[in-house]
Structure 1
Amino acid sequence: MSPQKQGYLYVLITMCIWGGFTLTARLSANWGIGAWDITALRFLLAFCILMPILIYKKDTAFLWKKEPFILAMIGGVGYCLTAYSAFHYAPAAHAAIFLNGFIPLCTAIAAFALFKQAFDRHTWASLVIMIGAISVMSFLMYRETGVAFGLGDLLFVMSAIWWGVFSVLLRQWQLSAWHAMAGVAVWSAIVFVPIYLLFLPKHLSEPEPMHLLAQVLYHGIFVVIVATLTYVEAIKRLGAFKAGSIVTLAPFMAAILAVPLLNEPLSFAIICGLFGMAIGALQPWRWLRRR
């Protein structure tokens, strides 16, 4: 397979897992699993799997470099805490709009802020479309409910900023997929798990044991390990903006599936927001022009 086709294959795998992340994270909130709990448990499980492998392979030297630690604090601890917390205040459709819809834009802004990579005309077009979609959706939501934005929406936007910076740094530093994934998981566990055990509230007795086990296995193995590996490989082959743009399609699909699966409402305002943000993120005119 050509590198480009490999990139699209890795994007497809990442899409499936990220779509499941949106649904399972919302289920986690519905089941009473706290954001602190799922963040600590997912990284603890990944640490228990990966650290013995690193030690066996005698491949731990890279952990002492600054890059894995910085990536872990941004794309690991920072992103997870804000994203999981947001699902306690907003439905899956809002995650598709304010989190995944904003990721390509935040990636482009991060690339400009950190490495002076200028916006091209396609990014400017996306910016105009996204602002228009958010404005229309906010106006309609305010007419329907009297509230345009909520705390969950703000947390989702913060998560998109974390992930945009994370994606740009991944591309710039050129870490291998294995080192990037293992570094994020190991350092996130080393830093956050002790803080969680000593200082943060715990709600492990509230959810059903099977619910808690299913969430930890899915987020600790598939989201932390598998999806990080495939996402890093996709970025290497397609670039941060293109990979991030395509991957955002999965949570939009998950938002639609959340209506019958989780009994979540899908108002006209949300539909407008989903449609506009999807167009801005995917930039379909670029694909049509190439064809």
Structure 2
Amino acid sequence: MSPRFQGYCFVAITMCIWGGFTIFSRLNAQWHISAWDIVAIRFAIAFCILMPILIYKKDLAFLWQREAVILALIGGIGYCLTVYSAFLYAPAAHAAIFLNGCIPLCTAIAAYILFKQPFDGHTWLSFCIMLGAITLMSFLMMQRDHVSFGVGDLLFVMSAICWGVFTVLLKQWKLSAWHSMASVAIWSAVIYLPVYLLFFPKHFTGVNPIHLMIQGVFHGVFVVIISTLAYIAAIERLGAFKTGSIVTLAPFIAAVVAVPLLNEPLSASIICGLIGMGIGALQPWRWRLKDTLTIELEKQKQKSD
């Protein structure tokens, strides 16, 4: 298979998992699984899988770096607690708008604040589109739906901030995909699980064991391990922008699928928000630009000629 075809295969895998993340996280509310419990299950399963592999490979030195702990606190514990809590209060469509739609913007702002990376023209245009979409959606929600934003929407924005900071730090520190994923999984478990066991309430008694098993396997294996490795592999073959643009579609598709699957509402205001935030996040006007893989192949062809 060509590198490009491999890249699209990895993108497809990532999209399925990311789209499923929205659906499965929303199912926690229907299955009465608390955010504290699902986060603990996610970290515990990932730890039990990854730690023996790291010990077998004698690849533990990277865990003692300061960067590994910081990434776990922000992209692991901080992100998971806010995003899983948000899904208990807000529908899947709100996640596509306030989480996935805001992630590119939060990433750009974090890069500017932390490392003084200026906004380019594409970021400014995306910002204007997203701001207009949220303004229009807010007006329609208050005028037609007679509802306003809630705590779930605020938690989604906080999740986007955590993921934006995490992405910038990850890029700046240049850790490998394997070490980045393992650092987040291992340290998140080491830090969070003792606190959870000692202080957080548990709600396993009223939950169907099959539901716990399904959520544990999906979030602990597919989300933490498989999607991370597939996403990084896709970036290496297709470039960061094209990969990010394609996989960003998954949560927006999941928001539409959640309407018949989870009986969630989809009003005109939410549709406006989905369209506006989707355009701002995907930046379709940049699709005509060549991706990094194409540029690299052209350089190699020129050298061979």
**Partner residue of 2:33?**
33
The offset of 1:248, in angstroms, is 1.6
1: distance between equivalents of 2:92 and 2:117?
Answer: 32
Give matches, 1:172-183, under 5 Å.
172-183=172-183
Q: Which amino acid aligns with 1:20?
A: G
How far the C-alpha of 1:233 sits from its partner, in A, is: 3.5
Match of 2:257 in 1: 257
**Deviating more after overlay: 192-201 vs 161-170:** 161-170
Aligned residue number for residue 192 of structure 1: 192
Contact 1:46 1:225 in 2 (8 A): yes
| Preserved contact between residue 104 and residue 244 of structure 1 (Cα < 8 Å) | no
Bigger-Rg structure (1/2): 2
Residue 48 (structure 2) aligns with: 48
TM-score between the two structures when normalised by the length of structure 1: 0.94
Partner residue of 2:147?
Answer: 147
Report Cα offsets for 1:210-236 as digits up to 9, x if no partner: 011100110000001111222334455
Counterpart-to-counterpart distance in 2, 1:65 and 1:290: 36
- Match runs of 1:6-25 below 5 Å: 7-25=7-25
**1:134–1:273 contact (8 Å) kept in structure 2:** yes
For structure 1, which segment, 55-64 or 137-146, has the greater mean C-alpha deviation from structure 2 after superposition?
A: 137-146
Q: Which amino acid aligns with 1:88?
A: L
Instruction: Name stretches of at least 5 consecutive residues in structure 2 with no aligned partner.
Output: 292-305
Residue 232 to residue 70, structure 1, CA distance change in 2 (3 Å): farther
- Equivalent position of 1:267 in the other structure: 267
In 2, the alpha carbon distance for the partners of 1:67 and 1:110 equals 17
Show the counterpart of 2:98.
Answer: 98
Is 1:71 aligned to 2:71, yes or no? yes
Cα distance in 2 for partners of 1:7, 1:163 equals 23
Q: In structure 1, what is the equivalent of residue 207 of structure 2?
A: 207
Aligned length: 291
1:163 to 2:192 alignment: no
* Alpha-carbon spacing, 1:171–1:242, altered in 2? closer, same or farther (3 Å): farther
Q: CA deviation digits over 1:90-144, x for unaligned, max 9?
A: 0000000000011111111111111221111111000000000001111111113
SS in 2 for 1:89: coil
1:104–1:241 contact (8 Å) kept in structure 2: no
Percentage of identical aligned residues: 70
Instruction: Quote the Cα distance in structure 1 between the aligned partners of 2:7 and 2:109.
Output: 23
Equivalent AA in structure 2 for residue 72 of structure 1: A
TM-score by length of 2: 0.90
Aligned counterparts of 2:241 and 2:150: Cα–Cα separation in 1: 27
Instruction: Rate the CA distance shift 1:115–1:10 in 2: closer, same or farther, 3 A.
Output: farther
Conservation of the 8 A alpha-carbon contact between 2:242 and 2:287:
no
**SS where residue 211 of structure 1 aligns?**
helix
Q: 1:268 to 1:120 in 2, by over 3 A?
A: same
The residue type equivalent to 2:281 in the other structure is A
Is the CA contact 1:107–1:241 (under 8 Å) kept in the aligned structure 2?
no
Amino acid at match of 1:262: L
Tell me the equivalent position of 1:81.
81
Pair 124,239 (structure 1): closer, same or farther in 2 beyond 3 Å: farther
Partner residue, 1:286: 286
Residue in 1 that maps onto 2:247: 247
Structure 2: distance between partners of 1:174 and 1:232: 12
What is the SS of the residue equivalent to 1:248?
helix
Q: Secondary structure at the match of 2:75?
A: helix
- TM-superposed deviation, 1:29: 1.6
C-alpha distance after superposition, 1:172-217 (max 9, x if no partner): 1111111111111000000001100000011111221101110011
| Runs of 5+ unmatched residues, structure 1 | none
What SS does structure 2 have at the residue aligned with 1:203?
Answer: coil
**Over aligned residue pairs, what C-alpha RMSD do you find?**
1.8
What is the deviation of 1:148?
A: 2.4
CA distance in 1, matches of 2:20, 2:133: 25
Q: Residues of 1 paired with 2:60 and 2:255: CA distance?
A: 39
Change (3 A) 1:242 1:117: farther
Q: Could you say which residue in structure 1 is the equivalent of 2:301? A: none
**Cα distance between partner residues in 2 of 1:120 and 1:217:** 40
2:201 is aligned with 1:224? no
